[in-house]
């Protein structure tokens, strides 16, 4: 059991703890999921712990961060999304407009998430983006 935790601990200590927003962690972990295989791929973790352990640590971490986001209040999600937006090279208004149109957040949920979790995640983001867009126009 201890060996099974090492990849996840390494991932959190070296990488995820450096990402200041929960949404940013979701984006990062989603980017490591191969859309063709559904497996998570991280070169460094794979070298240290093997492909299966790396995939498992990344999959579990994605689930953990996704659940953390869903458990946040809308106010907390708003602050977290605003923090994530500060790391991007566009204004909040531009980001909100493009995200509402292109909907990049639709692929951010873990594959195992149930339809209700997908809907909650999507609905909350659309509300937050609409509010951010309204606030930026004011």
Higher pLDDT, 6 or 20: 20
Number of domains into which the chain is organized: 1
For 26-47, write each residue's pLDDT tens digit: 999 999 999 999 999 999 999 9
pLDDT of residue 90 exceeding 60, the answer is yes
| pLDDT for the residue 74 | 94
pLDDT of residue 19 exceeding 60, the answer is yes
Q: How confident is the model at residue 5 (pLDDT cuts 50, 70, 90)?
A: low
Distance CA(2)–CA(9), nearest Å, equals 10
Q: Which two tokens stand for residue 107?
A: 């692929």
pLDDT of residue 22 exceeding 80, the answer is yes
| pLDDT for the residue 138 | 67
Distances (CA, A) of 63 to 58, 86, 88, 91: 9, 24, 24, 29
Residue 30: domain span: 2-137
Distances (CA, A) of 48 to 5, 32, 52, 95: 13, 16, 11, 37
pLDDT of residue 61 exceeding 60, the answer is yes
For 104-118, write each residue's pLDDT tens digit: 999 999 999 999 999
Distance CA(5)–CA(60), nearest Å, equals 10
């Amino acid at each position: 059991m201890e060996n099974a935790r090492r990849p996840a601990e390494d991932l959190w200590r070296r990488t995820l703890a450096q990402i200041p927003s929960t949404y940013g962690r979701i984006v990062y972990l989603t980017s490591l999921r191969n859309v063709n295989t559904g497996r998570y791929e991280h070169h460094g973790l794979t070298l240290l712990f093997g492909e299966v352990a790396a995939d498992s640590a990344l999959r579990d971490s994605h689930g953990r961060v996704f659940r953390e986001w869903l458990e946040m209040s809308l106010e907390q999600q708003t602050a977290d999304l605003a923090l994530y937006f500060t790391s991007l090279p566009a204004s909040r208004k531009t980001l909100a407009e493009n995200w509402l149109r292109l909907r990049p957040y639709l692929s951010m949920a873990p594959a195992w998430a149930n339809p209700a979790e997908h809907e909650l995640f999507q609905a909350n983001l659309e509300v937050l983006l609409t509010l951010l867009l309204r606030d930026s126009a004011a």
